[in-house]
Amino acid sequence: MKFDLWMPTASPMTTFDLLDSVAAESEERGISTLWVGEHVVLFANYSSNYPYAEDGRIPAPSGSGLLDPMVTLSYLAARTHTVRLGTAMLLLPQRNPVYTAKEVSSLDWLSGGRVDLGIGVGWLKEEFDVLGVPWDHRGARTDEYVEVLRTLWCDDSSSFDGALYQLPECEMFPKPIQQPHPPIHIGGESPAALRRVARLGQGWHTFNRTPAELANGLKELDVHLAEAGRSRDELRITVCPYFNQLTPEAVEEYAEAGADAVAALFFCFGAGDVAQTFDGLEACREAAAKTEV
């Protein structure tokens, strides 16, 4: 099983020297993928429910925020050679899909084909409102935007005519290095998210599940995959334990449950703490490596 890191790139802790240290240690220790999340803005007060905490509140204090994921991964691409670079999750329906296609393609080109695009539909309505994007039908918008990405990445001449988005005939270059395009990982825990994985995804990236909960989710996913004429062999199953404790024993249990990769939460307050934080995860990384033998 692959061993990944999921980094909450929060300010003011995530400085350039911290990212430099994480990049160097990730290469040296054989980390498979570095994942970063996205929120353009956050709020001191909001009505939306954060799905991964019992109190419905995102664990981000007022006065903090996340670095832009594509800028962060571009920075990391220039400081790495082997580790893959992923978004978990890019909030696709609140973005312009043409700019997103261009950014991902450019990053894939400049990184030598190391991009994994994780996407989600979002949970924070107030963020959509700030961006002037409708909250309703964001699932359908996500599906259409995936098709827009694909035609821009794969076709010399691209166009799309959907119910929510129209792309007149145009050309976008450079194309991604990865063919036919960078893998698209779908985030989310709902039945709709699992159906989207089965229809559109090359991976499922799930958060905050125990090994038993992962096994149950995969049983549900298998049903949707069969309906779509696909199998789990076509996907990378990545689980981020998030608030669940990660131990070597848990890593083995995730592998037995069906995970192809575990993304450990990497939370560090400064560059001087990076090596120690990696040391604290080393036993789990070694346990993941043993499952590949």
For 156-201, the pLDDT digits (tens) are 999 999 999 999 999 999 999 999 999 999 999 999 999 999 999 9
Can you give the pLDDT at residue 269?
Answer: 87
Q: Please name which of 7, 32, 26 lies closest in space to residue 289, comparing C-alpha atoms.
A: 32
Which tokens hold the place of 108?
């894939």
Q: Are strands 166-170 and 158-161 parallel, antiparallel or unpaired?
A: antiparallel
Q: Over range 86-109, report the average pLDDT.
A: 98
Mean pLDDT of 129-149: 98
Q: Is the pLDDT of residue 92 over 70?
A: yes
Domain count, the chain: 1
Of 88, 89, 84, nearest to 108 by C-alpha is 84
Question: Mean pLDDT score of the chain, rounded to an integer?
Answer: 97
292, pLDDT greater than 80:
no
Q: What's the mean pLDDT in 244-260?
A: 97
Longest CA–CA span in the chain (Å) reads 53
Q: Does the structure show a pLDDT above 80 at 261?
A: yes
Identify the sign of the CA torsion 128, 243, 290, 271. positive
Q: Identify the band that residue 293 occupies on the pLDDT scale cut at 50, 70 and 90.
A: low
Please give the Cα distance from 164 to 137 (Å, whole number): 9
Residue 211: predicted pLDDT: 98
Residues of the chain with pLDDT > 90: what percent? 95
Supply the range of the domain harboring residue 207.
2-291
- Listed in sequence order, the DSSP H helices in 114-247 are 125-131, 138-154, 191-200, 211-227
3 Cβ neighbours under 8 A, 6+ residues apart: 30, 31, 32, 251, 261, 262, 264, 284, 285, 288, 289
With tokens 């329906």, the residue in question is: 93
Calpha distance 102→156 (Å, rounded): 14
Which 8-state DSSP code applies to residue 91? E
State the CATH number of the domain containing residue 243. 3.20.20.30
Tens of pLDDT along 30-83? 999 999 999 999 999 999 999 999 999 999 888 889 999 999 999 999 999 999
- Amino acid 158 reads S
Phi-psi region of 208 (alpha: psi -120 to 50; beta: other; left: phi over 0): left
Q: What is the dihedral of CA 76, 40, 99, 112, to 10 degrees?
A: 10
What value does the mean pLDDT take over residues 252-257? 98
pLDDT (0 to 100) of residue 38: 98
**Does 209 have pLDDT greater than 60?**
yes
Paired sense of beta strands 158-161 and 236-240, if any: unpaired
Q: What is the pLDDT of residue 62?
A: 84
